[in-house]
């Protein structure tokens, strides 16, 4: 059924060919390697050529990015993010995590807490919630919390859809991105939306996978054809599937907070470019108005 529906959508998808990957504006300073690290027993992500403006509470001299990491990790628990400017040999300590931007003169270290799937009160930013997405060394803003920034701009290429950040309905914390149709459902009328996230720092020819969790904000089963979710990278469709829990799709296997139900996929790919955009597209193909819930995206070397 999935393959047949995908073929029927070919004419629509061809007209909406994936935009060409664009080069990120950042360059990796020589002393930085993007990676997950552990410093003083704390988990962190190192991002090269990225700044997270705002939240500075003090600065300190540091001879290297590694020295800056240690300063942040041992600073009485207040430091959550640090930016290191190699030219200035300066480490800027921050007490929060803000949306990232490309900046060739800066490297970042972001400490984070592993999220636990427990009921969390709305607006609570403790016990697993975060105001921004959990960090990823190879994605500028790799999630759909407050830190999510649509690279294409809101509603780019969309026909009749909207989005909102949902609180206390998620798979790894208490926030996620909820996408829903805003135009009337008409049989035979395909509605869609498209948006993207910057990736950077990949090694051309390197083997990677990306993890995507998506689903629905409620466990309800619908009687309509499920929305189709695509992940598009480097001008190729690397993953596509229909939302779980509908009349013609398997039950959702991932149980999140606040009634969220979903599925996780881990497609593999070979990097053809060091940087570009990971696009997502969602299609509603009949009269169903299912809301699609998107949580965090990961890129990881194999």
d(CA 194, CA 16): 10
Residue 131 lies in a domain: no
Q: Are residues 278 and 160 in the same domain?
A: yes
* CATH number for 297: 2.60.120.200
Q: Are residues 19 and 161 in the same domain?
A: yes
Q: Could you read off the pLDDT tens digit of each residue along the chain, which spans 302 residues? A: 433 333 333 333 333 333 233 233 233 445 788 888 888 888 888 999 999 888 899 999 999 999 999 999 998 778 888 999 999 999 999 987 777 888 889 999 988 754 433 333 444 444 445 556 667 889 887 766 655 555 544 444 455 677 777 777 887 767 788 888 777 666 667 778 887 788 888 888 999 988 888 888 887 777 778 888 888 886 676 788 999 988 888 988 888 888 888 988 888 888 888 888 888 888 887 777 788 888 878 888 88
Structural Rg of the chain based on CA atoms: 20
Q: Are residues 81 and 175 in the same domain?
A: no
d(CA 17, CA 112): 37
Tell me how many domains the chain contains.
Answer: 2
d(CA 6, CA 16): 14
> For residues 185 and 284, is the Cβ–Cβ distance under 8 A?
yes
Q: Are residues 18 and 71 in the same domain?
A: no
Q: Are residues 16 and 156 in the same domain?
A: yes
User: By residue range, what is the domain housing residue 268?
Assistant: 2-24+145-301
* CATH number for 98: 3.50.4.10
Q: What is the pLDDT of residue 291?
A: 87
- Strand residue runs (E) in 217-291: 228-233, 236-242, 254-255, 261-265, 268-270, 276-284
Last residue of a domain, one of 111, 136, 156: 111
Q: What is the pLDDT of residue 154?
A: 40
Q: Are residues 82 and 107 in the same domain?
A: yes
Q: Are residues 67 and 198 in the same domain?
A: no
Q: Secondary structure of the chain: what % helix, strand, coil (to 5)?
A: 5, 40, 50
Interacting residues of 6 by C-beta distance below 8 A, sequence separation 6+? 228, 240
Q: Are residues 201 and 93 in the same domain?
A: no
Report CA-CA distances (Å) from 266 to 18, 25, 44, 269. 20, 27, 22, 10
Q: What is the pLDDT of residue 61?
A: 95
Q: Are residues 273 and 249 in the same domain?
A: yes
> For residues 165 and 173, is the Cβ–Cβ distance under 8 A?
no
Q: What is the pLDDT of residue 149?
A: 53
Residue 57 lies in a domain: yes
Classified as helix, coil or strand, 112 is: coil
Q: Are residues 165 and 239 in the same domain?
A: yes
pTM of the model: 0.74
């Amino acid at each position: 059924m999935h393959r047949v529906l995908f073929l029927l959508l070919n004419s629509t998808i061809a007209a909406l060919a994936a935009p060409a990957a664009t080069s990120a504006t950042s360059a990796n300073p020589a002393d930085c390697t993007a990676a997950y690290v552990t410093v003083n027993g704390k988990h962190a992500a190192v991002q090269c050529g990225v700044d997270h403006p705002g939240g500075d509470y003090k600065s300190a001299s540091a001879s290297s990015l590694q020295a800056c990491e240690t300063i942040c990790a041992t600073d009485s628990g207040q430091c959550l993010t640090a930016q290191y400017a190699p030219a200035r040999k300066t480490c800027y300590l921050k007490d929060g995590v803000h949306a990232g931007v490309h900046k060739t003169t800066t490297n970042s270290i972001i400490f984070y807490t592993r999220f636990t799937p427990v009921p969390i009160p709305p607006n609570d930013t403790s016990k697993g919630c975060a105001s921004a997405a959990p960090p990823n060394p190879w994605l500028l803003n790799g999630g759909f919390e407050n830190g999510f920034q649509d690279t294409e701009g809101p509603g780019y290429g969309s026909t009749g859809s909207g989005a909102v950040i949902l609180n206390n309905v998620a798979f790894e914390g208490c926030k996620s991105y909820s996408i829903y149709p805003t135009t009337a459902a008409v049989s035979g009328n395909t509605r869609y939306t498209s948006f993207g996230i910057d990736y950077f720092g990949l090694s051309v020819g390197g083997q990677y996978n990306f993890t995507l969790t998506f689903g629905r904000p409620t466990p309800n089963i619908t009687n309509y054809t499920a929305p189709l979710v695509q992940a598009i990278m480097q001008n190729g469709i690397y993953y596509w599937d229909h939302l779980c829990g509908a009349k013609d799709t398997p039950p959702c296997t991932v149980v999140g907070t606040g009634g969220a139900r979903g599925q996780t996929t881990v497609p593999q790919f070979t990097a053809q470019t060091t940087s570009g955009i990971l696009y997502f597209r969602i299609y509603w193909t009949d009269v169903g108005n299912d809301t699609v819930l998107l949580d965090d995206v990961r890129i990881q070397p194999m």
